[in-house]
Structure 1
């Protein structure tokens, strides 16, 4: 069953065999397999249950329901925006449904560095096969490309760069274009549609508007979870819920999970908890076209330019020769170029300027295309708890990542001009406007500093990295904590590094993997 914790008589105490914190890709998948194995499962979710019937395709209504801080969560110094889901189903409710596997070069690097006994290439391949079947992954047909994606394809082909179509997990998609505010047509094969019903049918209970505060533990083992029932309007605590359980699985995201671990005083000999955050940062450029683009219509992201994404070269192995090492250190191997359009509120927050200047840019909305360069980042950031319920994020790109970001910005502008843009707007402060024939190289040479241009990230990960040596990692390759019995992690926190691809399939895989490990033990 799915219950709204804000309606409970508080304080409340319940018992379970397993308490899972978070209902996104990792938590929902873990709940399904654990409940089907016979465990009595309770899942705590800070957000609401937002069914397709109430998804009205209005940003002002849906962003507060689906995203932390209405989509404006930032790092501590406000230099980067970190977008994360907060609803039953987590970020799978608002994401753009892109499906990719972690490249073998990265998996091999993890094996070399972390000795992941329970999670080698073969195990990953089996998990990916299962996930792809469950969420019905398929390639987006070229006739479904909207004008926005066609422009990226045209620019890529004109420049002779490498590119191609993307895979997604939609069934019955009508191309409404409102994926990022929830699909009112229930075409997303997301956690709510695929895994939550399985868990509920097996007896699992989901408590929405219920945010975990800390893991209760003593004598080296878990006793349960202390949580707060949240007022749906203010998000403030209404009272306490205690879940007594001998097994706890944290699937609260790469920001929520480490914050809970640190707030709970969970020991970590490696010191890595909260200290290895990666985010896939990105910068955007917008192009004005003579003809209407109507970028909000249709599947938002269907085509990719991979000319500057060579993750095999970026990960040459443990002992590369000089040539391979020099190649790995080069700029232009870690940038993924994709469309990045937004609805009016999202666009207004990205476009620069004030007053009349900003209004003039917004009046071009119908004629804008926006491309972005997302970076497979190397910079380790930090997550800390903030008060009883909040998190604090510290992340700013190192020199290599700054160079890769500005490289991606320049290539985005180059693609826009190649596709036929008559002007390109770069949302720096002040705004830069480029005309056809202008060099984009000054963009590559920008010296990034906080406040110059907005960095956006939608894939936080790696903040509780797995590894089988307790001196190097907080959890092992099954997701089991090294120092506290009964404690597990099943979300993107587990990745030892940035993965360079959309993470949803890999997080589903972690949920299945860890959920089964819990049930087996």
Structure 2
């Protein structure tokens, strides 16, 4: 059953397990637990948005799929952070890239935090379940071809990406939800199995606090949200001896802190990573039509050498969007901004995302909000500048006639040799991969949560989302969150 909280006729529900959040981590736990026979209730702060309702209009879909309609930022407004809500979580709007956590990062985690999940075995299972495959070369659009051409011209390492799509027609509207239901995501692959096994998914129900006493979980107090205003219109109580929080790397620590969940390690909410990214847009003589086709099918890994702790740690991929999204990235105001947007069909853009070392913080703001504080440290700022310079060089090598960089105002480059002189300032930043805000570890003295997902200091409490990563992972996290959900779900059932 999937039901909107406003349609419930009861104010209290009893369950064996309450899952908070229905993204890749939460949906996987709900599915595993329900199929094992547990009575599962999953709360989702967003709405149920089916493919038939995904109308490919940014103005309609951003408020329905993204927190703050895509306008969530850090406290200083310096970094925009895209995070999704809805039954299926961020997998509704993400671009379906599937990469495993590099073995070198897994090894560092084991050395620093103790043995963790059996990642490779989990990846094998999840990739089969989600039908992960290489992007077919025939699906590579002109925009991605230009990245490949630029990298080849420079002799830089690049290649095709892997994704979890089946039946993709290349519409290009992935970011606003797939109207053609080609994404093999949580909504399509996991939620139906969970519901078939008896799980109840309550949409538009946001957890406010985890109720606990005597050292163990008692349930969850939530609010019902109006489907139009997203304002509270009532309360909801879930009585459950088990709670699994999968509310994202910002929502999860905020909820734990608001609930005063004990944490002697003081790690909850104190080590947020976000994969901060910069963008450069190139104008080409040819019409690129970058909005058509699979948005990201080619990557440049010339500057992503994670086997070396001191090596480069920048991942470069195309970064294009539909008009509203592009308009927020393109620099300039008034006529200067309009002049750039008139060339929209001729624009291509690249993003340079880094494996960050900066530790940000997450705190609750009121009963429902989050406060995100993240200011990149000097080493990360330097890495971002190097990544931006590389993106600019790639665009020129691909044939761009000029390159624009959002950096407060507009920075325009007409030649690649201007990189050294014109990119000395910090560019505007964005992020789509929050993680590592409640890092797992074997030792209760240095971690709030163990590698099974079980909380060290509160019986009955489990976590299953990107919060658990001990550090940044340097690659898109969705595949790893699915894998983690499978692991946590099984551990919870066995316990």
Question: What residue number does 1:22 align with?
Answer: 21
Q: 2:392, 2:416 within 8 Å by CA — same for their partners in 1?
A: no
The structure 2 residue matched to 1:255, chosen from 241, 250, 254, is: 250
| 1:508 matched to 2:466 | no
**Residue deviations 1:286-305 (CA, integer Å, cap 9, x gap):** 00000100000000000000
CA distance in 2, matches of 1:505, 1:373: 20
Q: Which of residues 203, 210, 225 is equivalent to 1:208? A: 203
* Residue 461 (structure 2) pairs with residue 462 (structure 1): no
Q: Is the Cα contact below 8 Å between 1:410 and 1:443 reproduced in 2?
A: no
8 A contact 1:277–1:381 mirrored in 2 = yes
Corresponding position of 1:319: none
Secondary structure class of the residue paired with 1:313: coil
How do 1:270-281 and structure 2 match up within 5 A?
A: 270-281=265-276
Q: Which runs of 5+ in 2 are unaligned?
A: none
- What is aligned with 1:341? 320
Given that 1:407 and 1:444 are in contact with CA atoms closer than 8 Å, whether structure 2 keeps it comes out as no
SS for the counterpart of 2:307 is: helix
Q: Please name the residue that 1:283 is paired with.
A: 278
Q: Residue 376 of structure 2: which of 397, 413, 421 is its match?
A: 397
Q: 2:398 aligns with which of 398, 419, 423?
A: 419
User: Following superposition of structure 1 onto structure 2, how do residues 81-92 of structure 1 map, counting pairs within 5 Å?
Assistant: 81-92=80-91
Deviation at 1:170, TM superposition (A): 0.2
Give the alignment partner of residue 476 of structure 1, picking from 420, 440, 450: 450
Which whole-Å CA distance do the structure 1 matches of 2:141 and 2:409 have between them?
31
SS at 1:95's partner residue? coil
1:2 aligns with 2:2: yes
Q: Could you say what secondary structure the match of 2:212 adopts?
A: strand
- Is 1:124 paired with 2:119? yes
Q: How does 1:490-509 map to 2 (within 5 A)?
A: 490-509=464-483
Aligned to 1:318: none
SS at 1:408 equivalent: helix
Which residue pairs with 1:35 in the alignment? 34
Corresponding residue for 1:298? 293
Instruction: Give the Cα separation in 1 of the matches to 2:198 and 2:416.
Output: 63
- Number of equivalent positions: 495
Q: Where does 1:313-352 land on structure 2 (aligned, <5 Å)?
A: 313-314=308-309, 328=310, 333-352=312-331
Distance 1:359 1:516 in 2: 53
**Distance in 2 of aligned mates of 1:436 and 1:77:** 33
CA distance in 2, matches of 1:514, 1:143: 37
SS in 2 for 1:427: strand
Whole-Å separation in 2 of the counterparts to 1:99 and 1:285: 24
* Deviation digits for residues 70-90 of structure 1 (CA, Å, limit 9, x no counterpart): 111000010101100011100
Match of 2:170 among 175, 178, 185: 175
| 1:445 aligned to which of 410, 413, 424 | 424
2:138 maps to: 143
| SS of alignment partner, residue 145 of structure 2 | helix
Question: CA–CA distance in 2 between the matches of 1:375 and 1:134?
Answer: 29
Is 1:266 equivalent to 2:258 in the alignment? no
Work out whether residues 408 and 428 of structure 2, in 8 Å CA contact, stay in contact via their aligned partners in 1.
Answer: no
Give, in whole Å, the separation in 2 of the partners of 1:313 and 1:462.
20
For residues 443 and 518 of structure 1, the distance between their equivalents in structure 2, rounded to whole angstroms, comes to 53
For residue 396 of structure 1, report the CA deviation from its aligned partner: 1.1
User: What is the distance in 2 between the residues matched to 1:167 and 1:437?
Assistant: 31
Q: Give the Cα separation in 1 of the matches to 2:160 and 2:71.
A: 30
Map of 1:104 onto structure 2? 103
Question: 1:402 & 1:433 partners in 2: Cα distance?
Answer: 20
Taking the aligned partners of 1:484 and 1:344, their CA distance within structure 2 comes to 47
Cα RMSD of the aligned pairs, angstroms, is 0.9
- Is contact 1:13-1:243 (8 Å) kept? yes
Contact 1:32 1:195 in 2 (8 A): yes
Deviation at 1:441, TM superposition (A): 1.9
CA contact (8 A) 1:407 1:443 kept: no
**CA separation in 2, counterparts of 1:396 and 1:463?**
15
Structure 1 position 426, deviation (Å): 1.0
Shift of 1:443: 4.9
Matches of 1:304 and 1:78, distance apart in 2: 29
CA deviations over 1:318-350 (Å, ceiling 9, x no partner) = xxxxxxxxxx1x5xx100010000110011111
Structure 1 unaligned regions, length at least 5:
315-327
1:131-157 CA-to-partner distances (Å, cap 9, x unmatched) read 000000000111211000000000000
SS in structure 1 at match of 2:485: helix
- Look up the SS of the partner of 2:181 in the other structure: coil
CA distance in 2, matches of 1:35, 1:430: 52
TM-score normalised by L of structure 1: 0.94
User: 1:317 maps to what in 2?
Assistant: none
Contact 2:44/2:201 (8 A) holds in 1: yes
**Maintained 8 Å contact 1:409/1:443:** no
Check conservation: 2:283, 2:400, Cα contact below 8 A.
Answer: yes
